[in-house]
C-alpha cells in the first residue's frame, strides 16, 4: 500500500499543529463555535451533547495492521473500547473529548493517517473497490489513481467551501463494487481498444432526499487528464451549485437543472484552459504511485486444496463460510476473505479494540499485513493462501468475525440512527438487530440467497436505503411510534437502481413482518434457486409484493408482546449525539 514520503508526512504533521492551535483558540474562546464548526468538520469532528465523534479517513479503504492497531489503541485510550466502520470505508469513534482530539490526530499521524476532509462541504475521502488489485474481473487497478486523487484533493484551496459535501468513488473492475453511479463523481478506470488506460466519468449521482443515478459526462478520458478534468467539474459546481437551500445544494441538483449536456459544455469550456497544462499527470508520477501497489510476493501454489474439500464436507459452518465469505482471487492458490462485522445481534460495522488487535495480528499472519474496509462495513483480507483458510476460519470464529452471511440478509447496512444521530426520525440499529434475530437461521438465509437490506434512520439515507434490494427508511415519529417506509428493487453495481416504495409506512415492529412477507412472495414466485430476489422483483414487478404485504393486517397482539420484550431498548430521543451528515 501507499507509504508517505517526507512531503506527505510534513503536510500531515503541519495539519496536526494547525488543528491543535485551532482547538486551543476555541477553548480560549478566540474562535466562536460558528467559526470553529467548519474547521473541525473539515477534520471529521462532529459535536455531540456528551462528547465528540471523530471520523478518521481510511483512504479508499486500505489499511495496514499497524494502522488497525492504532484504531484499537484509540478505542481503548480515548473511547469506550469500540469503533464503528462506515459505509464510506472510514472509521468513527463516538465518545471523545475535544481537548484530546489533537493528541489523537498526532497518534494517527505517527502511522500515516488523518481525519482530513472526512466531513464538511469539501471533497471527502475517495472510496474504491474493496477487491482492487485482486479481483478476477479487474481491468485497471484503481488504487494508484485513488491515491493520486487523495493527494490532489487534500487541502485543495479552491474547493474547501463548496455548496455541499462532495464524494468521489473510483473502480476498475468489470463489475462496479464502489457504487460509482451513486456518487457526486463516479470514475470507472478502463482501457480503450488500443489498450490505453482512461476513465469513464459520471457526475451527479447520489442518494439522500433526491436519489439520482449519475450521468455520463465523459465516455473515455485519457488518464493524463484525470486531475484537470475533475478540477473543472469542481470549479463549475463551486460557482453554480445552489447555496440557498441545503437540500438542493448537491451537484446532482445542478446537473439535473442544467441538463448533462449544458453541464458538460460548461465543464469543457473551463477545461479548455487547463487541458495539457501543468496539472496534467505524468507517467513518472503514475508509475511512482503505482510502485506501492505492485503485487506482494505471491508463492507459486496449486489452485486446489483437497484438505479444504474434506473439511468442508465435514463441517457445515465452514462450508457455509466458504461459500459466502471467501471469494476467488486472480492468483492461483490464493483467496479473498471477508470478515463479517455483521454478527446478528451486534451493531452492523462495530468492532471492539480486542477484535481490532486480533484482526491486525491475523492480517500479519495471513494477508501480508494489509486489509480493506468495505462499503458494506466488513473487513477484507485480500491475499490469503487457500491452505491457510481453515486456520484463519478457526481464529476468526473465536473473534466472532466468521458469520457466514456476506451478501445475505443479515449482512445489512445500517446507519447509526436515533440513538446517535440528531437528524434521525427513527432508530436503525435496534431495527437491524430485530430483523437479524428474526432471520438468524443461516439455512433460511442461504436459501434466500443474495439480497441486500439497507436501513436509514431518515431521508438523508446514510444507510443507502435507496440502493438496497430492500430499503428501510425512518420517516416520522408519531404517537410514540416510529414509522418506516419500505422499498424494494434498489440495486448497486452495474445495474444501480433506486428502489420503489412499497406502500403506506409501517411501525418499528411491523417492519420485520413486512420483510417476512416480501420474502414469502419471493420464495413463492422465483423460478428456481438461481433467480435472485432482485431478478424476481424485476420480472414480476412490485405489485405482487405490495398486494401480499398489505393484504392482511399486522397482528396487534404480537406487536404488544414484542413491545414488552426488553431485549429491544427504547430509543433515547432525549440524547442527541451527532449528525453524520454534516
For residue 404, what are the contacts with CB-CB under 8 A and spacing of at least 6?
317, 320, 321, 323, 324, 325, 340, 442
73 interacts with other proteins by CB under 8 A: no
461 interacts with ligand SF4 by CB under 6 A: yes
413 interacts with ligand SF4 by CB under 6 A: no
Pick the piece of the chain touching ligand SF4 (CB under 6 A) from 190-198, 272-280, 356-364, 453-461.
453-461
Question: Interface mask (CB under 8 A) for other proteins, residues 89-118, using x and -?
Answer: ----------------------xx------
Q: Which residue from 46, 55, 58, 64 is in contact with other proteins, where contact means CB under 8 A?
A: 64
Q: Which residue from 460, 464, 507, 510 is in contact with ligand SF4, where contact means CB under 6 A?
A: 460
100's contact among ligand SF4, other proteins, none, with CB below 5 to 8 A by partner kind, is none
Q: Which among 440, 463, 570, 450 is positioned nearest to 516, based on CA atoms?
A: 440
Tell me the CB-side half-sphere exposure of residue 28, using CA atoms within 13 A: 7
Contact indicator for 417, 474 with CB cutoff of 8 Å? yes
Nearer to other proteins, 103 or 361 (CB): 361
Alpha helices, DSSP H only, in 126-219?
A: 143-153
458's contact among ligand SF4, other proteins, none, with CB below 5 to 8 A by partner kind, is ligand SF4
421 interacts with ligand SF4 by CB under 6 A: yes
Q: How far is the C-alpha of 226 from the C-alpha of 245, rounded, in Å? A: 30
Q: Which among 202, 162, 208 is positioned nearest to 184, based on CA atoms?
A: 202
Phi-psi region of 295 (alpha: psi -120 to 50; beta: other; left: phi over 0): beta
Q: What residues from 347 to 376 belong to the interface with other proteins (CB under 8 A)?
A: 364, 369-370
Nearer to ligand SF4, 51 or 416 (CB): 416
- Grid cell listed for 104: 489523537
415 interacts with ligand SF4 by CB under 6 A: yes
- Number of shown-chain residues binding other proteins (CB under 8 A): 57
Nearer to ligand SF4, 42 or 422 (CB): 422
- Phi then psi for residue 523, to 5 deg, are -60, -35
Question: Measured from the CB of residue 48, what is the shortest distance to other proteins in angstroms?
Answer: 21
65 interacts with other proteins by CB under 8 A: yes
Packing angle, helices 316-325 and 389-398, rounded to 10: 100
- Grid cell listed for 407: 451478501
Pick the piece of the chain touching ligand SF4 (CB under 6 A) from 306-314, 403-411, 416-424, 543-551.
416-424
Nearer to other proteins, 232 or 507 (CB): 232
Contact indicator for 8, 59 with CB cutoff of 8 Å? no
407's contact among ligand SF4, other proteins, none, with CB below 5 to 8 A by partner kind, is none
3-class SS of residue 476: strand
Q: What residues from 153 to 172 belong to the interface with other proteins (CB under 8 A)?
A: 154-163
Beta strand 413-414 with 370-373 is: unpaired
Q: What residues from 232 to 291 belong to the interface with other proteins (CB under 8 A)?
A: 235, 238-239, 243, 273, 277-279, 281-282, 284-285, 287-289, 291
**DSSP-derived secondary structure letter, 99:** G
160's contact among other proteins, ligand SF4, none, with CB below 5 to 8 A by partner kind, is other proteins
Q: How far is the C-alpha of 221 from the C-alpha of 196, rounded, in Å? A: 10
112's contact among ligand SF4, other proteins, none, with CB below 5 to 8 A by partner kind, is other proteins
3-class SS of residue 171: strand
Q: How far is CA 126 from the centre of its chain?
A: 11
Contact indicator for 396, 388 with CB cutoff of 8 Å? no
Report the greatest alpha carbon distance in the chain: 70
What letters, b where the CB count within 10 A reaches 16 and e where it falls short, cover 70-95? bbbbbbbebbeebbbbbbbbbbbbbb
Question: Measured from the CB of residue 69, what is the shortest distance to other proteins in angstroms?
Answer: 10
161's contact among other proteins, ligand SF4, none, with CB below 5 to 8 A by partner kind, is other proteins
Match 426520525 to its residue by C-alpha cell. Answer: 425
Q: Which residue from 241, 404, 417, 490 is in contact with ligand SF4, where contact means CB under 6 A?
A: 417
Burial of 327 (0-12, 13-18, 19+ CB in 10 A): middle
Q: How far is the C-alpha of 320 from the C-alpha of 341, rounded, in Å? A: 16
Q: What residues from 502 to 561 belong to the interface with other proteins (CB under 8 A)?
A: none
Q: What are residue 197's DSSP bridge partners?
A: 191
Nearer to ligand SF4, 142 or 348 (CB): 348
424 interacts with ligand SF4 by CB under 6 A: yes
Q: Which residue from 458, 506, 514, 518 is in contact with ligand SF4, where contact means CB under 6 A?
A: 458
Nearer to ligand SF4, 232 or 456 (CB): 456
Q: How far is the C-alpha of 455 from the C-alpha of 473, rounded, in Å? A: 6
Pick the piece of the chain touching ligand SF4 (CB under 6 A) from 162-170, 378-386, 421-429, 475-483.
421-429
Beta strand 52-56 with 453-456 is: unpaired
- List residues near ligand SF4 by CB under 6 A: 415-417, 421, 423-424, 428, 456-458, 460-463, 580-581
- List residues near other proteins by CB under 8 A: 1, 3-5, 7, 10-11, 14-15, 18, 22, 30-31, 35, 38-39, 64-67, 111-112, 121, 151-152, 154-163, 227, 235, 238-239, 243, 273, 277-279, 281-282, 284-285, 287-289, 291-292, 294, 364, 369-370
Amino acid at each position: 500500500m501507499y507509504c508517505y514520503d517526507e512531503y506527505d508526512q510534513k503536510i500531515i504533521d503541519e495539519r496536526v499543529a494547525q488543528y491543535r492551535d485551532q482547538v486551543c483558540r476555541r477553548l480560549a474562546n478566540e474562535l466562536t463555535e460558528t467559526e470553529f464548526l467548519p474547521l473541525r468538520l473539515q477534520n471529521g469532528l462532529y459535536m455531540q451533547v456528551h462528547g465528540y465523534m471523530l471520523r478518521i479517513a481510511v483512504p479508499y479503504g486500505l489499511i495496514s495492521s499497524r494502522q488497525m492497531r492504532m484504531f484499537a489503541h484509540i478505542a481503548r485510550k480515548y473511547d469506550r473500547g469500540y469503533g464503528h466502520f462506515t459505509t464510506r470505508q472510514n472509521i468513527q469513534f463516538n465518545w471523545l473529548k475535544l481537548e484530546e482530539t489533537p493528541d489523537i490526530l498526532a497518534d494517527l499521524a505517527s502511522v500515516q493517517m488523518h481525519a482530513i476532509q472526512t466531513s464538511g462541504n469539501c471533497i471527502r475521502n475517495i472510496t474504491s473497490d474493496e477487491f482492487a488489485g485482486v479481483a478476477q474481473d479487474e481491468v485497471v487497478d484503481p488504487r494508484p489513481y485513488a491515491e493520486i486523487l487523495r493527494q490532489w484533493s487534500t487541502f485543495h484551496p479552491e474547493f474547501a467551501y463548496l455548496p455541499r459535501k462532495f464524494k468521489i468513488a473510483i473502480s476498475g473492475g468489470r463489475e462496479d463494487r464502489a457504487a460509482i453511479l451513486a456518487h457526486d463523481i463516479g470514475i470507472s478506470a478502463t482501457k480503450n481498444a488500443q489498450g490505453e488506460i482512461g476513465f469513464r466519468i459520471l457526475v451527479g449521482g447520489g442518494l439522500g432526499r433526491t436519489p439520482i443515478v449519475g450521468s455520463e459526462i465523459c465516455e473515455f478520458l485519457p488518464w493524463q487528464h484525470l486531475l484537470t478534468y475533475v478540477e473543472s467539474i469542481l470549479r463549475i459546481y463551486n460557482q453554480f451549485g445552489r447555496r440557498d437551500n441545503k437540500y438542493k445544494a448537491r451537484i446532482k441538483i445542478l446537473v439535473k437543472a442544467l441538463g448533462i449536456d449544458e453541464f458538460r459544455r460548461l465543464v469543457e469550456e473551463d477545461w479548455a484552459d487547463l487541458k495539457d497544462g501543468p496539472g496534467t499527470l505524468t507517467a513518472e508520477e503514475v508509475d511512482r504511485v503505482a510502485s506501492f501497489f505492485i503485487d506482494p510476493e505471491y508463492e507459486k501454489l496449486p489452485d486446489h486444496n483437497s484438505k479444504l474439500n474434506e473439511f468442508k464436507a465435514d463441517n457445515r459452518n465452514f462450508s457455509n463460510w466458504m461459500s459466502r465469505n471467501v471469494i476467488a482471487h486472480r492468483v492461483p492458490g490464493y483467496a479473498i476473505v471477508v470478515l463479517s462485522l455483521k454478527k446478528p445481534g451486534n451493531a452492523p460495522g462495530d468492532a471492539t479494540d480486542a477484535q481490532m488487535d486480533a484482526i491486525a495480528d491475523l492480517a500479519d499472519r495471513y494477508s501480508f499485513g494489509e486489509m480493506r474496509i468495505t462499503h458494506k462495513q466488513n473487513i477484507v483480507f485480500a491475499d490469503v493462501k487457500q491452505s491457510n483458510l481453515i486456520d484463519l476460519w478457526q481464529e476468526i470464529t473465536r473473534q466472532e468475525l466468521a458469520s457466514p452471511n456476506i451478501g445475505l440478509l443479515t449482512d445489512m447496512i445500517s446507519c447509526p440512527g436515533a440513538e446517535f444521530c440528531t437528524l434521525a426520525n427513527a432508530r436503525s440499529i435496534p431495527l437491524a438487530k430485530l430483523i437479524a434475530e428474526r432471520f438468524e437461521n443461516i439455512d433460511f438465509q442461504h436459501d434466500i440467497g443474495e439480497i441486500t437490506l439497507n436501513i436509514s434512520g431518515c431521508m438523508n439515507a446514510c444507510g443507502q436505503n435507496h440502493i438496497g434490494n430492500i430499503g428501510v427508511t425512518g420517516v416520522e415519529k408519531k404517537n410514540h411510534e416510529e414509522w418506516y417506509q419500505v422499498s424494494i428493487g434498489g440495486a448497486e453495481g452495474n445495474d444501480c437502481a433506486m428502489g420503489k416504495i412499497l406502500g403506506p409506512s409501517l411501525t418499528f415492529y411491523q417492519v420485520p413482518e413486512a420483510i417476512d412477507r416480501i420474502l414469502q412472495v419471493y420464495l413463492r414466485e422465483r423460478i428456481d434457486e438461481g433467480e435472485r430476489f432482485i431478478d424476481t422483483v424485476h420480472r414480476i414487478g412490485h405489485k405482487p409484493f405490495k398486494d401480499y404485504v398489505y393484504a392482511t393486517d399486522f397482528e396487534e397482539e404480537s406487536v404488544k408482546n414484542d413491545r414488552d420484550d426488553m431485549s429491544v431498548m427504547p430509543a433515547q430521543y432525549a440524547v442527541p449525539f451527532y449528525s453524520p451528515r454534516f
